[in-house]
Chains A and B, each alone.
Chain A
Amino acid sequence: MSTRPLTEAEALAAVDDALRTYPLAPAPAAFTPKVMSRIRALTPTPRFSLAWIDYAISLFAAGMAGLLILLRQSIPPQTAMQAQLQIMYLFMRFNVALLWPALLVGGLVAVAVLLMAVALFGRSRPALVR
């Protein structure tokens, strides 16, 4: 076949050349969109859902609001007046100067508790949900 036999070096060069020029097959059509759609399928779509505690809190809040309306409508005017007087008397016995600092401290404690809850429970986020 050949005009003269290849020397060992030439043969190895030919092998090396064939290895380097071995053609690459083209990537399959729409490869990237297919991969990305598989990745999207892994990522759970955020869905609106309520836990049992949400229902319980809502029920409690609705019940309390209903109770307040019911009480306001069912209390006779004389009893309402008496209750108002009782409240005024109660406030007169309180040290009013301490009311605002007490509210401030209470508020700060509430914020601290909320921040702690966020720090404790906000850390575990699924890797794919970003």
Chain B
Amino acid sequence: MEQTHEAELVRRAQAGDAEAFGALVTEHQRFVYNLALRATSDAHEAEDVAQEAFVRAWLALPNFRRQAQFRTWLYRIVTNLCCNRLPRLRRDLSALSEEEVDEYSAPVDERTNPAYDVEASEQRAFLHQRIAALPESYRLLVSLRYQDELSYEEIADVLGLPLGTVKTGLFRARAQLREALREFETG
């Protein structure tokens, strides 16, 4: 959604325009639902959390400062709700200690062999299964990073965690997947 259009919808919703808020719900419902789904692993509970998050957002909208991004503010509500429902999730996130991790940038994949495409799609399907099997705290982190495309700073802000903890969590999630891929390769 275009930033100015969203800002206008937020302004109208803050003035009590339910229709504008409905448009914001429609725009963000999928990401909010998926974020809740990653954390709860249950479709019904995720839907309930997502609905509750939007209701709370509507109630708290008069306090929303427009300098902040609506999206990150909304995600913070979702993650807080998830942590309230799953105390273990908050504990797991807090337990992620900070480690010195290298900034990772994806290398350019130079393999263009057609045989590799088949293999790559198998790998991808396997990795998707392993992503689904990651601990909730890691799933939440990778969802915010790769699906919602938040920066490390934004994730730290959403989850109320130190920046280093966020980096460590993402590093470990990738390391677990790398390890799983190694097992996949060795068959």
Contacts and interface: CB of A to CB of B under 8 A. Distances in A.
B124 A36 contact: no
Contact of A9 (B16, B21, B107, B147): B107
A6 B18 contact: no
Interface residues of B, number: 50
Interface string B103-122: 01011110100011001100
A24 B62 CA distance: 31
Contacts of A35: 22, 25, 29, 51, 54-55
Contacts of A20: 146
Interface of B: 15-16, 18, 21-22, 25-26, 29-31, 33-34, 37, 43, 47, 50-51, 54-55, 58-59, 62, 104, 106-109, 111, 115-116, 119-120, 123-124, 127-128, 131, 142, 145-147, 174, 177-178, 181-182, 184-187
A42 B37 CA distance: 25
A46 B21 CA distance: 21
A102 B34 CA distance: 72
B127 A11 contact: no
A53 B37 CA distance: 53
B177 A13 contact: no
Interface string A19-32: 11111111110011
29 contacts: A10-B111, A12-B106, A13-B107, A14-B109, A14-B120, A14-B127, A15-B177, A16-B106, A17-B106, A18-B128, A19-B127, A19-B131, A19-B146, A20-B146, A21-B128, A23-B128, A25-B34, A25-B43, A28-B50, A31-B33, A31-B50, A32-B25, A32-B26, A34-B51, A35-B25, A35-B29, A36-B18, A39-B21, A42-B55
Contacts of B181: 6, 11, 14-15
B30 A1 contact: no
A39 B55 contact: yes
A75 B132 CA distance: 94
A76 to B, nearest CB: 63
A25 B33 contact: yes
B109 A39 contact: no
A90 interface: no
A18 B177 contact: yes
A123 interface: no
Given A1-B185, A5-B185, A32-B22, A22 B128 contact: yes
A31 B111 CA distance: 42
Contacts of A17: 106, 109, 120, 124
B62 A127 contact: yes
Which 8 residue pairs spanning A and B have beta carbons closest together? A130-B16, A18-B127, A16-B106, A9-B107, A19-B146, A27-B29, A27-B30, A15-B177
